[in-house]
Structure 1
Amino acid sequence: MSIITNQDAFVTEEIMQIVTRERQVALSTREWKHRLAGYGYSIRDTDAGEHVLETLPHRVALCVLPNELFA
């Protein structure tokens, strides 16, 4: 299911750099989510098993995160 449309590839890449860097330094998924909240992002798990990065507080979907970040 693709829920993200009209997303600028450059902006998505910039956001993914932040998300990936924060995942590398976080000791747990919980800490990672807390760190992302400091940047104004949250992760929502979908019924389809995807992890969607959203903005806070309006919950605008930005991109689907790769499963490798959750291993």
Structure 2
Amino acid sequence: MDLKIEVIVLPVADTERAKAFYDKLGFRLDLDTGPSTDFRCAHFTPPGSGCSIMFGEGMTAAEPGSVQGLYLI
């Protein structure tokens, strides 16, 4: 079986600030949707990567900045 990690959900405090950060790094914005005021999803993919990141409002109960041991290489 060929398994891959496709998406990592990052808890962020400020979606707009995170979007600006990853855009400046050259990540591709794949999706930015907010079907309600309680949920918003921004989805970015680094150039040449098979794994993406997602963040926004209502996506995770994890505290902003709590992800540890994740490296962008």
TM-score w.r.t. the length of structure 1 is: 0.34
Greater strand fraction, Structure 1 or Structure 2: 2
Quick one: higher RCO (CA 8 Å, sep 6+), 1 or 2? 2
Q: By percentage of residues, which structure has more helix?
A: 1
What is the TM-score of this pair, normalised by structure 2? 0.33
